[in-house]
Amino acid sequence: MPNGRTLRHAGTKLVEPGYRTKLSIGNLGLESLFQVVSFLGRGGSGDTWLFQNRQTDELVAIKLIARPLPKALLPQQVEREIKIQTELGESHFGIVNAKEAILTDTHLCLVLEYASGGSLTNYVSQRWQHAQHTGTFLSEDEARYFFRQFLSTVEFCHRHNVAHRDLKLDNTLLDDSQPPVIKICDFGFAKNWTESANMYTHIGTPVYMSPELIDSRHGLRGYDGKSVDIWASGVMLVAMLLGMFPFDHVDHPDPNSNEAQLEVWLQQVGQQWSGIPRIKESVGKLSEDCRDLLDKILTIDEKRRITIADINAHPWMNKPLPPKFAAAEEALYARQQRLDASLENRFLDEDRKKLRYTKLAQLVELSEQRTDWVGLPRTEPVMRIDLRDAYVLARPTTDVTARPDLQSILKGHFSADLIRANTIPEDASLKKAPQPRQPTLHEQPSMPDEAAEQ
């Protein structure tokens, strides 16, 4: 086994030993709506827990961000994350849907679609024994099945002028299908653009960051958000196949340190990815076409780096899949075609949409404040905003077969619970002026080092 970290051995576990499996922080303000089930994971801005909807029994993932917002978490970043995931989520099979934004006395809560298959990190890590016999964690066929889905989702984001900027195995979830379908999540570092994808904020997870993104720390030039996503996609493909990262910070394990990023950058500019000593032996296990594709993705010069269109045209991407993967992929893209047709026929009520985002901005503004409740917090939310498309439809779509979960809502157009969910209770806190705000595959991201990102 090559020297260095592997996905199986490096970093902390997703659930730390002895970590609580029941919420022990008192009332969250969600008790009337959801029953806590279990802890799912911890990110840079908060914890994610599995809950069950008391009315429908649906399982949902809820990201909990404590109030007031942490200083490192910019309010415009939170608002942008929710808006991007709301706009994109129900339009593509590969993006986790945002369902609701809820403000309680203690937390800002983002209610999300639950992907019950866990993360791609865990899926790959569990193939450790497989790698001992075959040489790769996932076979090239299985990796191609996932990678084609993944690229389809990233291309969709770019087509809608959104760069994710923190693509990684930890942020790629799986449903319970066999074989699984991927779901990209955590748009906390995502950024949209209008005319150019050139960006400046130094942000991301070191092992997935491209050379120009790491170099942007000096602020001398920006980077193309699309190109850094493509680089990260190549790193993910290497990790799926070989169970390790092409460039790593073994000597400086803290991902938030300048030293970690410098260690990665020196490897990147020093030699081609396949020549890194700790990975060189494993690269020989890959096919010639696969190595060629990775060479083109992990190109130091971003202007010469391959595009998504060219990746899709590459011979490795177009090799036929085994029957079980081919059938699953065919069904998946047929589902996307039905969804696309449905979306073409929908009409959104722009006034309702504008009102929703006005209320979202208000919710995020309130989440910056310390709460003024005395004693136990309320068991009811302070504010709820429904983020589903059904709430802003001017009329039902003509084809809802692609989204069975929307059929019951669309049948009655707007159900009573949707209307109740978007009624803001008269609350004194709404009237107050805002107060000033004081590895392994489980790789933690570096937080933004700019005061704000416009």
Residues tagged in the binding site annotation for ATP:
63
Amino acid, single-letter form, for residue 73? L
Pairwise CA distance, residues 368 & 376, whole Å:
20
Residue 229 a catalytic site member: no
The three-class DSSP label of residue 37 is: strand
Pairwise CA distance, residues 138 & 312, whole Å:
20
Token pair recorded at residue 44: 């840079």
Q: Is 29 left (phi over 0), alpha (psi -120 to 50) or beta?
A: left
Q: Choose, from 47, 141, 166, 229, the residue flagged as catalytic.
A: 166
Token pair recorded at residue 37: 């089930």
Answer positive or negative: Cα dihedral of 219, 221, 225, 230: negative
Nearest to 141 by CA among 21, 265, 26, 286: 286
Q: Are 103 and 369 in contact (CB under 8 A)?
A: no
H helical segments located in 40-139: 75-89, 120-125, 128-134
Q: Which residue has the tokens 């994350």?
A: 81
Q: Which positions make up the binding site? A: 63
Q: Which residues pair with 173 in a beta bridge?
A: 119, 183
Q: How many CB atoms lie within 10 A of CB 100?
A: 20
Q: How many CB atoms lie within 10 A of CB 399?
A: 16
Residues annotated as catalytic are 166
